[in-house]
Every structure is written in structure tokens, then in C-alpha cells.
Amino acid sequence: MTSRRIAVIGDRFMLPQVFGTEIEKACGSGHDIRLREDAWPDEPMEHGYAVAGMDGLKEYFGSADDVVDFVGDAEILVTHLAPMSSAMLSRLPSLRMIAVSRGGPVNIDVEAARQRGVRVVNVPGRNASAVAEFTIGAILSETRLIRLGDETMRRGEWRGDLYRADRTGRELSELTVGVVGYGAIGTRVVRLLRAFGSRILVADPYVQLSGEDRSAGVCLAGFDQLLAEADVVTLHARVTDETRHFINAETLARMKPGALLVNTARGPLVDYDALHAALASGHLGGAVLDTFAVEPVPSDWELLKLPNVTLTPHIAGASVKTVTYAAQRCAEEIRRFMAGMPPISPC
């Protein structure tokens, strides 16, 4: 097989050496594989709207000149967060393929790449298992009072009263859980919840339940029914014009009093002012939030002051398995490109 020039730009999450190893396994040795490790997540990302020449890109890391210099004469680029704008593509005439090791290639001008005949592939669902598992952990942390018990003990309080029937936690087997969105993550959340014996409602107007889930008693419900009946509502929808701020004052008011809201999907799904009001009033029993419209969140953000909110810094999808899975998928896409085969996940 002809030796190919491959540039890999990873970071301190998507480790470039893991990608290099998987590419050699899939494509053989002898290729010119150059590796670069960027400083994300220890340093923040940029957004295209803030930097001239990067229009249309978002959530990327690295400057245009540095990336172009590193890619140089490479035919194949593997990137996690490194950007590739239209202007950058024009400076890289040798580039024929870009493998993006994430679900959404928002750091790439995909249309500009298509016009130049550059194949762009991604790894949809790369962290679906990790997010689903995290979601179950988040629900259990709240419904079984794990977070509350830890916080109070650290303050020197022994909350024996949490054993009282009117204050103690509830098992998932006695709860109705509403899953909003039935994609790669939502389906996995449902599968895990079934093992706990929960009553499960799914709201997604664009899909049908699998036969396995239907046989297990999972119910496809309207959004209004789900809000009214669920003790726990967990969000797994994409951000679209239809879903942006679809958790707002009106929809929160329809939720069951004392219910728990979990968002491990995307921040813009939620109107945070309305959520704060629902939590502060006691209408909602609690919320677990892993994603936010602005990241990092302001240090004086009002939601940080509420006792019935658990917040984590967008880590639901972060796992070692996510890294290895993404590397293996990208390596297979490169192998197929070298062999003249069609891509598995074209953008």
C-alpha cells in the first residue's frame, strides 16, 4: 500500500497517540503519521463568530495559521477540535480527507470541503454509552439523596431524618421516567432504565419505538403527557428551532410538582431563568445540569446558589472508552478511504 501523509491533531482528551496507534492497526505501518496534542480542555475553546475568517465555525481550538502549518502537505487530517475553514482549505491543496472524532463537525466548513472534493467524516454517537450511563448516575444521585447526603455530612450534619418516610429517597422501580429524544443516547437510557423496572415514557415525534422496547412496556407519549406524568424528565434531544428553549416557563409549569429535570444534552434546550424560578418556588424538586448555553457558567450565576441543583462541567460524554471508540472509527474510515471504499459516516 502506498505510504500516506496523515496529520493527527488531538488534545488532552482525544489523545493523538491513541489515534496514531489505531491508524497503524487498521492501515498498516509505514505511513507518515504526525501527531499534535493541543491544550484543551485545560485551555478554553474559541468560537467562529469571535474570530475573523472563521465564520460558520464554532467550538474549535487552535489558530488557522498554526493548524495549516502543521497539516502542511498531509493528505488526511484527523481532528477533534482543530478548525478547518474555507480559507484554510484553500491553503491546503494536498488535503483530501478530514476525519472529525466527534458527533457534530461544527469546527469544519463542510460545504467548503465538499466543493473542494475533500471527504469529511465524523463519529456519530461516539459518547452515547458514556452519556447514557452518566444520566442514570445523575438520576440516582438525586432520587436516592446521594448528593444531599454527601453535602450535609461534609458540613458536619448527620441527616438521620433522611430515613423518614416523608423525606427519604425513592427507587426507580416506583418512578415514571420521561425520556425526551429517542436517538443514540435516548435509546440507551431507555435500555438501562428498563433494568430498574421504571415506567418509561418516550417523547419523540420523529421516531418509533423498537420492538424490544415496546415489548418491555415502554410507552411512546406526547410531550404534554410526558411532562404531566413523569417524576423524572431527562433530555436527549438535538438543538433545533423547534427545541430551543422548549423547556420554558410554560412547559415547566406542566411538569409534575416535585419532579426532577436532567439535562445532559445541550444547554439551549432550557430557558434558565424559567428553570431558576421553578426550582426556587419549589414547583420542581430538583435539577441536574451538565450542559449550559454559556460555558463556563458565570461564577455569580443564580442557579449555583440553589440547594436543589446539581451541576457538572459538561463531562457526561467524557470517558476513556469514548476516546478509544472514536479512534477506532476514524481509523476504519481512513482505511476505507485508502482502499477506495465509501465512508461509513459521511458529513
By annotation, the residues acting in catalysis are 266, 295, 314
Cα gap 165→250, rounded to integer Å: 32
Strand arrangement, sheet containing 119-121: 32-37, 5-10, 76-79, 97-100, 119-121
Q: Where are the beta strands (DSSP E) in 75-183?
A: 76-79, 97-100, 119-121, 176-180
Phi and psi at 247, nearest 5°, equal -100, 100
Nearest-angstrom CA–CA distance, 267 and 243: 11
Which of 84, 99, 7, 56 is CA-nearest to residue 337?
99
* Strand partners of residue 120: 98
Yes or no: say if 308 and 283 are a contact pair by the CB < 8 Å rule.
no
DSSP label at residue 304: G
**Radius of gyration for the alpha carbons in the chain, expressed in angstroms and rounded:** 22
Evaluate whether 283 touches 199 at the Cβ level (below 8 Å): no
125 contacts 103 by C-beta, under 8 angstroms: yes
